[in-house]
Amino acid sequence: MATQSLITVPSVTLTLDQLLTAIKQLDEPARVQIAKTLLQTEMDNKLSALIRRLAKRQPPANITDQIINAEVKSVRKAHAQKRHAQSRH
């Protein structure tokens, strides 16, 4: 999401308190955008770490793609039957 205000910041050093004070002075939409960006960055970092951990694991020998696909089909069928039964009432 691009903002319409232009901010020019040459090499500037701020303390955390100064940065927080500056953020508090922004209007609500700008603060919301900052919050969303921080949350997204945190989620991206957590997801990347999870993917790295999972990539290091050996897959269980007793679970095959066939078993997973069969389970997915079974769950989809059960959901479809449930929706069909609900639409009859």
In a domain, 29, yes or no: yes
In a domain, 11, yes or no: no
pLDDT for 6 equals: 67
Q: What is the DSSP letter of 11?
A: S
Domain total in the chain: 1
In a domain, 75, yes or no: yes
CA 34/CA 26 separation, integer angstroms: 10
Task: Tell me the per-residue pLDDT of 20-78, one tens digit each, with 9 for 90 and over.
Answer: 999 999 999 999 999 999 999 999 999 999 999 989 998 888 888 899 999 999 999 99
In a domain, 18, yes or no: no
At residue 87's C-alpha, the angle toward residues 86 and 89, to 5°, is 70
In a domain, 45, yes or no: yes
pLDDT for 10 equals: 78
49 is in which domain, residue-wise?
A: 24-57+64-87
In a domain, 1, yes or no: no
CA 35/CA 10 separation, integer angstroms: 23
In a domain, 53, yes or no: yes
In a domain, 52, yes or no: yes
User: Is the pTM here over 0.75, yes or no?
Assistant: no
